[in-house]
Amino acid sequence: MKSDHSPNDLLLLLLLLLLLLLLLLLLLLPLLLPVNDSNMAEAQDVGVEQNDTVDARKWFGKSSSAASTDRGQSAEEVDSGQTVSDSYVYRMDYPRMGVCVIINNKNFNKNTGMDVRDGTDVDAALAMKTFSSLGYDVRVANDQTVEQMKQMFLDVSQEDHSKSASFVCVILSHGDEGIIYGKDGCEKFETLTANFKGNRCSGLLGKPKLFFIQACRGSVLDEGSLVEVDSVAEQRTEKIPVEADFLYAYSTAPGYYSWRNTNNGSWFMQSLCQMIQLHSKKLELMQIMTRVNHTVALNFESASSRHGYSGKKQIPCIVSMLTKDFYFPS
């Protein structure tokens, strides 16, 4: 008996069956393969990591709400595109910048053997103008005795500094290594500053305390208008170290004279105020102080009528126990 189907019909039928089988496999394939959980988890992690930057905000130099006082986990964007933890930058979003005390000792009792410090009023005026422009509550005290200096530091340390960002003190006087002169005698520098340490002044705990000292620290001349010298010829839940967050900017290195021009003021205060005025809106404090060092070291040389006192140099000495970067508000 002869078949009703030709070979061509059988081939066509086979192709149709194969196509149907392939279509069925395509439909069943998603159900047969397992879900890739690791890929999904990785994608979610990436999403979370990118979204973490939403909580970061630029707070420096701007006021913040009371709810944002804990800055431990926030971050600040920098020009490099990286982020710097706020734990490395002092907060400046307090209602006040703080107090700036200027002690300007020009005249001294005869029994001290100290000369009149001509030119110091220029320094005091420069400092007052500079720190007033930065928002500080500037207080100037002239020709203070030792007891008056000690009492003033005690009184200021006992004020409420909880709403202040920092504290500044400028001392313009005669001095020697480790001591500062009042008009009637001398006192150890560490005694004058002791009341601002963390265990005595809780309102400034963890906040920058900046001391700028224009005074001699000895009688050595650095060989490196009329110039005189300031000197005696002879003579929170975590614990914070009580010595932390201090900066002592001395006009000269230990053991050396510090120079002052009778008309223009001291080399150090001229340079300090100039560099703060030029760079306070963009540079960190230690960068500013490096420029102060540079200016004093390279731009000044003594020209004195006293024999052996001309052609001398000076270099400031910056001692920092600051634990964070300090930026003046812009």
Strands in 179-182's sheet, in edge-to-edge order, are 175-176, 179-182, 185-188
Taking the C-alpha atoms of residue 93 and residue 97, their distance in angstroms, rounded to an integer, is 9
Phi-psi region of 307 (alpha: psi -120 to 50; beta: other; left: phi over 0): beta
Tell me the one-letter amino acid at 301. Answer: E
Active site residues: 174, 216
Q: What is the torsional sign of CA 5, 6, 10, 13?
A: negative
What stretch of H or E contains 180? strand 179-182
Consecutive H or E run containing 21: helix 7-32
Question: In Å, what is the CA distance from 166 to each residue of 9, 44, 131, 246?
Answer: 97, 43, 12, 10
Q: How far apart are CA 133 and CA 329, in angstroms?
A: 11
* Alpha helix segments (H runs only) across 33-168: 37-51, 120-133, 146-157
- Residue 161's closest CA among 72, 95, 210? 95
CA separation for the pair 39, 18 (Å, rounded) = 34
Q: Which residue in 193, 205, 189, 191 sits closest to 242, CA to CA?
A: 205
The token pair at 289 is 């102080």
User: Amino acid identity, residue 240?
Assistant: I
CB 126 within 8 A of CB 261: no
